[in-house]
Structure 1
Amino acid sequence: MTILHVRDVPEELYARLKRRAQAQRRSLSAEVIALLEWALEEAEASPQAVLASIHRRRFFDPAAVNAPDSTTLLRQDRGR
């Protein structure tokens, strides 16, 4: 495997990366690799893929997958 060193990382960014890695139960290196992979995939997405994703989200029907209605969930939460 190739080694990549990054210098002069701002303290706040390093702290955020560290917190995110802990939340994801990953090492700091594994989290940085995951974020780099995600960023590159997003940057390389074709316009057709982006439009298809938008279309899927726009016309998603929660009832089709037995997801609860958000209004019902809000009422239940407010009733606590």
Structure 2
Amino acid sequence: MPSLQVRDLPDYIYQQIIQLAEAERRSIAQETIILLEKALQLEKSNKKRRSLLFNHIIQETKDKNYKDALDPVKLIREDRER
């Protein structure tokens, strides 16, 4: 199994990992693996969400006049009226 060495890890991050590991009754290595897995999944879901939102915006603006849809003055006025 591959191993990973992290250099110049800030102390506050290391301390947080230690606290989380103790709270979950895991080793520091186990907790770090779990944190990395969660972070990678979060990154994937964020990219997917942004992609879906971007596609939605493109579809919404196809039917309208693109210039009017992204007019900052119009958007600010709409926001103020809410």
Alpha-carbon shift at residue 16 of structure 1 (Å): 1.0
RMSD: 2.1
Query: CA shift at 1:10, angstroms?
Result: 1.2
What is the CA–CA distance in structure 2 between the aligned matches of 1:34 and 1:14, rounded to whole Å?
14
| Structure 1: unaligned runs, 5 residues or longer | 52-80
Partner Cα separation in structure 1 for residue 5 and residue 38 of structure 2: 19
- Consecutive unaligned residues in structure 2, runs of 5 or more: 54-82
In structure 1, distance between residues paired with 2:49 and 2:12: 34
Q: After superposition, give the CA deviation of every residue in 1:43-80 in whole Å (9 maximum; x if it has no partner).
A: 112229x99xxxxxxxxxxxxxxxxxxxxxxxxxxxxx
- Tell me which stretches of 4 or more aligned residues in structure 1 moved more than 4 Å: none
1:35 and 2:35 aligned:
yes
Residue matched to 1:47? 49
* Percent identical: 40
TM-score by length of 1: 0.56
Tell me the residue number matched to 1:58: none
Question: What per-residue deviation string (whole Å, max 9, x for no partner) do you get for residues 16-42 of structure 1?
Answer: 110111001110000000000001011
Quote the Cα distance in structure 2 between the aligned partners of 1:24 and 1:7: 25
Find the structure with the greater CA-based Rg: 2
